[in-house]
Structure 1
Amino acid sequence: MRKTALIALALLLVAGIAISTYLRRAPEITYRTARIQRGTIVSGVSATGNVSAVTTVQVGTQVSGTIHKLYVDYNSPVKKGQPIAEIDPSLFRAAVEQSRGNNLVARANLQKARVVLVDAERTMKRNSTLLKEGVISQGDFDTAETAYQSARAAVEAAQGTVAQTEGALMQARTNLNYSIIRSPVDGIVISRAVDVGQTVAASFQTPTLFTIAQDLTKMQIEVSVDEADISSIRQSQTVTFSVDSYPEQSFRGRVTQIRNAPIITQNVVTYVVLVTVDNSDLKLKPGMTANVTIEVARKASVLRLPLAALRFRPRSATDAGTTPRPRNSTATRPPQQATGEQRVHILREGKPVAIGIRTGIADDSAIELTGGALKEGDLVVIEQIGGTGKKKANAAGGSPMGPRF
C-alpha cells in the first residue's frame, strides 16, 4: 500500500509540473487572412436630412373673423380655387350693403349737382343776353356767372364722392370674397391649424391656417453636408438613402442643387445640398429623417483590399500586458503613417511581413488597390488571434507581492 501511495504521489507531482509548464508557455499565435478580390468600389459622402414636398404653400387669411365652416381636413385633395374654409360673412355682407347705400346717395347727389349746373348755365346765358340789351346790370350777370362756376365745382365734388363710395363698395365686396378661403394650388392638405368657432386675426403677419403640398409624388431632401466633404459634391450625382419607416428598403435620388450659404452651428460649418426623389408610390412622407449617401466616385473591376488589412498591426506575446500608448504618439505610430505610405501584412513562413502598397477610393468595407506587389487572389492579414497572457501585474507597474503604497 505504501508503494502504491508513493507511485500515486509521484504521478500527481509529474502532472502538476506538466500543467504548470503548459500554462507558462507562450500562447500560440494564429492569423486571420482575407483574399484580395476584384469588384466595384463606390465612394460616398454620408449625411442626414429631412424629406419634404418640393412645393409647399402656406394658406392664410386676409381678413379677420370667426371660422364659420371647414370644407377640408388632413390629407384632403384640393384643386386650385376650391373653397377650403369660410369666415363668418355677416359683417362683410353688412359692410357691402352699407357701401352700396353710400354709393347710391353719392350718385343721387351727383345727379342733383348736374341739374343745378344746367340751371345755372341757362341762367348765365340768359343774363348775358339781357346784359347786352341793357336790361340788367353787370352785377346781376356776375352773380349768375358765379352761381354757374359754383355749380360746376359741386358737380366735380359729387363725382369725387361717387368715386370714393365705389372704392369702398369694391373693398367691401373684396373682403366678402376673402371670407371664403380658397386653395391657391392643386395639392393635398398636410396640416390644418384652425377649427370651427376659432377667431383668426389678419394683422401685419398673416396667420397660417392650412399647409398644402402641391405634389407628393415628387419629394426633396435638404441634406446638411460637412465643409470637409462639400468639395466632392456635384450636381446630378446619384444618391441612395433610407428612412426609419422602411429600414430594409433603399431609395434613390439625385443632387439638384448645392447652396452656397453656410450654416454655422456651434462652430461647425455645413452646407445644404438639395436632393430630388421620385415618390410615385407615396411611401415617403414629409418630415421623415433620411440617412443619405451621396455617390462621389465609382470604379468597377478594381482590386478590393479589405480595410481591416490597413488597420492590422502585429503584436508579440508580451504586448498584451503593456500599457498602450496614445495613438497619436510618434513612438507608436507605424512607419507608413509617418511617411505617407500604406502598408499591409502577408504571411511568410507563418510570420507577418509588411508590404508597401498604394490605394485609391474606398467604401465602407474595402479600398482600391492601385499599386504595390500584391495582386488578385493574394491573402492579407486582417487579425491576430492569440499572443496574450503575460503577467499583467508587471504591466500595471506593481510588484509580485502587490502594489506599493
Structure 2
Amino acid sequence: MPGAAMTEGDLDAFLGAQPRRRLARWGMVVALLLAGLAAFWLLLRFVDGPDLPYYSVPLERGSLTPVMSASGTLHAEDEVSLRAPEGGVVHSLLGPGDGVVRAGQPIAMLDTAPLEAALASAEATRAAAEGTLAAAQADLDGARARMDRYDGVWRRSGGRVPSLNEMDGARAELSRTAAALASATAALAKARNDEALARRQLADATIRAPFDGVVVSRAVAPGQVVAPGTPLLALATGLDRLVVTVPLPAADAQRLASNARAHVLLSGMADKVRTARLVRIDPTDDVRGLDRLAVFALDPPAAGDAAVVQLRPGMAATVEIDLPAREGVLLVPNAALGFTPEGVPPRRSAIYVLSGDNEPRQVVVAAGASDGKRTEILASGLEPGVQVIIGRRSAPAKP
C-alpha cells in the first residue's frame, strides 16, 4: 500500500542482508560441532591415554623420606629376662595368665631331686673330712709328744739315748703326721665349699621374682632340659608401656636418625597401625650379623582404640622406619625399576624411557633410597620431564 511503513524484514530483503545472516548462523553451528568433537577427542585421550603401547610418567625431582622395613618383636619397656642359674630339668614355672606376682615369690623351679642328692653326698663328704681331720690332729699330737719326750731324754743323757735311729724315726713320724694334717685340713675346706655350692644350687633351683610385676612371656616349658643361663621367662612391672625391638646389622643401625619415627604393623592386626619413636640402640651378640638392637617406644594409642587391650609382649611386628629425608633427587615410581620390554632379558638397575620415536630406550641407573612407592635414582643424561615407562598397555581386543 502506498505510504505504508517498511518492516525490518522488508528492509533486509531490500538491502540483501538475509543470506549473510543465514551463513553466520550456519558458521556458528559448524563451530559448535567442531568444538564438541574436539572436547570428545580430548576426553577419549584423557580416559584411554595416548595411542602408545606403554604407560609412562614424567621423571621428577623432589623430596623423599626413605623407609627401611624390618621385623621386630613386642616387649614391655622394663621387661627383665630371668635365666636358669644352673642346668637341669624345668619342673614348673608361671605364665602370662597367672596374674600379678610379688617380690620374692617363687615363679619357676627346676627339678630338685638330683640337687638334693648332690647336697646329701656333699654333707657326707664333709662329715668324713671332719673325721679324717680329727684323726690326723690326734696323730700329730701323738707324734709331737713322742718327739718332745725323746728330746728330753736326749738332753738328760748327754746324747747317749735314745739312739740316733730312734730320734730320726720320731722326727720322720712328726713330719708325716704334720703333712697328713695339712692334707686333711685342705680336704675339709674343699668338702665345706662343695657342700655350700650344693646348698646354693638347691636354693637357686627355685627362681624368685626380683620385684612385683607380671609374667609377660615364657621361653621354656615344664619338662624341658635347660643349660645354665637359658632364658626361662620374662617379667615386667606392667603392660602399659610397650616397645618394639628390631635386630639390625650395624650398618643399617647407623642410618637411623635420633628419635627416628616408625610405623608398626602387628601380626594379625594389619588394620591397626601404631606409631613409635626410636629410644635407643643396644649392642647384641647375635651370630647372624644382626649385632644391633633398635628399641622403639610405642606412642600412646588413640582415644577409644579397643585394639590396645589385645597387645601382648612376644607379638611379631613389621616395623617401617623413616630414614633421614632426601632433598632434590630424581624420583621414579618403583614400577619403573621392574619394567622390561618383551623379548629383552631383565637387567638390574635399569629403567626405560620413551625416545623421540616413542620407542623404549634403556638407561642404566643406580637405585638409591625408597619410600615403598618411589625410588631415588642416579643417572647421567636424565632430566626431569623425561617420560619413564612404568608398564605395558594391554593389547586391544580383536573384533
TM value normalised by structure 1: 0.53
Please list, as runs of the form range in 1=range in 2, the aligned pairs for 1:93-108 lying within 5 A after superposition.
93-108=116-131
Q: Check conservation: 1:49, 1:224, Cα contact below 8 A.
A: no
Aligned to 2:194: 168
Does the CA contact (< 8 Å) of 1:218 and 1:280 recur in 2? no
Match of 1:278 in 2: 298
Shift of the alpha carbon at 1:175? Answer: 2.6
Question: For 1:170 and 1:162, how far apart are their aligned partners in 2?
Answer: 12
- Deviation, structure 1 residue 254: 2.9
After superposition, the CA RMSD in angstroms is: 5.3
Once the two structures are TM-superposed, the CA of residue 235 in structure 1 deviates from its matched residue by: 2.3
Give SS of 1:193's match.
coil
Aligned residue in 2 for 1:296: 324
8 Å contact kept, 2:94–2:215: no
With over 3 angstroms needed to count, the CA separation of the structure-2 counterparts of 1:57 and 1:124, relative to structure 1, is same
Q: CA separation in 2, counterparts of 1:211 and 1:333?
A: 68
Q: Residue in 2 aligned with 1:252?
A: 276
Residue 293 of structure 1 and its aligned partner are, at CA, apart by: 4.8
Q: Structure 1, residues 98-137: CA drift from partner, whole Å, max 9, x if none?
A: 3223222322321232222222212212211211222623
Instruction: Decide whether the 8 Å contact of 1:56 with 1:212 is kept in 2.
Output: yes
SS at match of 2:352: coil
Contact 1:201/1:207 (8 A) holds in 2: no
Residue matched to 1:379? none
Q: Is the alpha carbon distance of 1:221 and 1:158 closer, same or farther for their aligned partners in structure 2, counting shifts above 3 Å?
A: closer
> Alpha carbons of 1:230 and 1:242: their partners in 2 closer, same or farther (altered >3 Å)?
same
Is the 2:87–2:228 Cα contact (8 Å) retained in structure 1?
A: no
Q: Structure 2 CA distance, aligned partners of 1:262 and 1:66? A: 25
Q: What does residue 136 of structure 1 align with?
A: 161
Aligned to 1:152: 178
Q: Is the Cα–Cα contact under 8 Å of residues 43 and 363 in structure 1 kept in the other structure?
A: no
Pairs within 5 Å for 1:169-248: 169-183=195-209, 188-195=215-222, 198=223, 200-202=224-226, 205-206=227-228, 208=230, 210-214=232-236, 216=239, 217-222=241-246, 233-243=256-266, 244-245=268-269, 247-248=271-272
Alpha carbons of 1:325 and 1:212: their partners in 2 closer, same or farther (altered >3 Å)?
same
1:28 maps to 2:48 = no
Change (3 A) 1:44 1:275: farther
Residue 17 (structure 1) aligns with: none
- Partner Cα distance (2:105, 2:355) in 1: 75
> Once the two structures are superposed, what CA deviation does each residue of 1:338-394 show, in whole Å capped at 9, x if it has no partner?
99xxxxxxxxxxxxxxxxxxxxx99979xxxxxxxxxxxxxxxxxxxxxxxxx976x
Counterpart of 1:383?
Answer: none
Instruction: In structure 2, list runs of 5 or more residues that go unmatched.
Output: 1-36, 48-62, 302-307, 345-350, 364-369, 375-395
Q: Partner amino acid for 1:125?
A: D
Aligned length: 292
Amino acid across the alignment from 2:41: E
Counterpart-to-counterpart distance in 1, 2:115 and 2:284: 48
Tell me, what secondary structure is at the counterpart of 1:129? helix
Contact 2:140-2:174 at 8 Å conserved across structures: yes
Is the helix fraction higher in 1 or 2? 2
Establish whether residue 45 from structure 1 lines up as the match of residue 73 from structure 2. no
Consecutive unaligned residues in structure 1, runs of 5 or more:
1-24, 34-40, 300-306, 312-322, 340-360, 366-390, 394-399, 401-405
Distance change in 2, residues 1:74/1:153 (3 Å): same
- How far did residue 152 of structure 1 move? 1.2
1:124, 1:29 → 2: CA distance?
Answer: 129
CA apart distance, 1:173: 1.1
Which amino acid is the alignment partner of residue 191 of structure 1? R
From the two aligned structures, give the one with the greater strand fraction: 1
In 1, Cα distance between equivalents of 2:291 and 2:235: 25
Counterparts in 2 of 1:81 and 1:242: CA distance versus 1, 3 Å: same
Seen in structure 2, the aligned counterparts of structure 1 residues 253 and 144 have a Cα distance that, compared at 3 Å, is same
* Structure-1 residue corresponding to 2:84: 60
Residues of 2 paired with 1:164 and 1:158: CA distance?
10
